[in-house]
Copies of this chain bind each other. A is one copy, B any other.
Amino acid sequence: MPIRPASTDDVETILDLIRGIAEYENLTHQLEATTEKLQESLFGENPVAYALVAEDDSSGIVGYAIYFYNFSTFLAQKGIYLEDLYVKPEYRGKGWGKKLFTAVAKIAYDQNCGRMEWMALDWNDPALEFYRAQGASLLEEWRLLRFLRPELEKLLK
């Protein structure tokens, strides 16, 4: 099967792909993931996220998706948030991205989620075009805000 849930044996490979996505997004300086932390987050006692991998018969893992459950107050219902969707550059344009995306959508649908959400960078035209082609709504007005631990600390001092 080309798309399957990740297993603990895949963690190292997924981390390599995460490095790929960070480079593509010019965000390598934000990368603090380690094998141990990823292992714990996906397969520890209290998993906080879930991973699917796309596996090519001859080439092995060529892409991955990571998602977690979120919540919409307006729907008062859980949803799925797609944190990452990535296919290695040399395997793009072959349908792997669509297969991964559809697999996550199926989980959202089957588990009675009210919606599925994700984010993309506003300059990432291939991604935005792909998502528009799948029928997604782009919510132009919303802006993301963030605290890292130093800002949390500063507020709480």
Stoichiometry, copies per complex? 2
Contacting B at CB under 8 A, from A130-147, are 131, 134-147
Inter-subunit contact A37/B76 (CB<8 Å): yes
Q: Contacts of A117 on B, CB cut-off 8 Å?
A: 144-147
Q: Contacts of A105 on B, CB cut-off 8 Å?
A: 147, 152, 155-156
A49 at the interface (CB under 8 A from B): yes
Task: Type the 1/0 row for A116-127, where 1 means its CB is closer than 8 Å to any CB of B.
Answer: 111111110000
**Whose C-beta in chain B lies nearest to the C-beta of A35?**
B76
> Within the assembled complex, what's the spacing in Å between the Cα atoms of A136 and B119?
19
Given A73-B66, A77-B37, answer yes or no on A118-B145 (Cβ-Cβ < 8 Å). Answer: yes
Inter-subunit contact A73/B78 (CB<8 Å): no
Task: Type the 1/0 row for A94-123, where 1 means its CB is closer than 8 Å to any CB of B.
Answer: 000000001001101100011111111111
Contacting B at CB under 8 A, from A19-69, are 21-22, 27, 30-34, 37-38, 40-41, 48-49, 66, 68-69
Q: For A27, A77, A120, A154, which residue has the most chain B Cβ atoms within 10 angstroms?
A: A77
Extra pairs beyond A68-B71, A73-B84 (15, CB < 8 Å): A32-B76, A33-B75, A37-B76, A41-B71, A41-B76, A41-B77, A48-B71, A66-B71, A66-B73, A71-B83, A108-B152, A113-B152, A115-B149, A137-B146, A138-B144
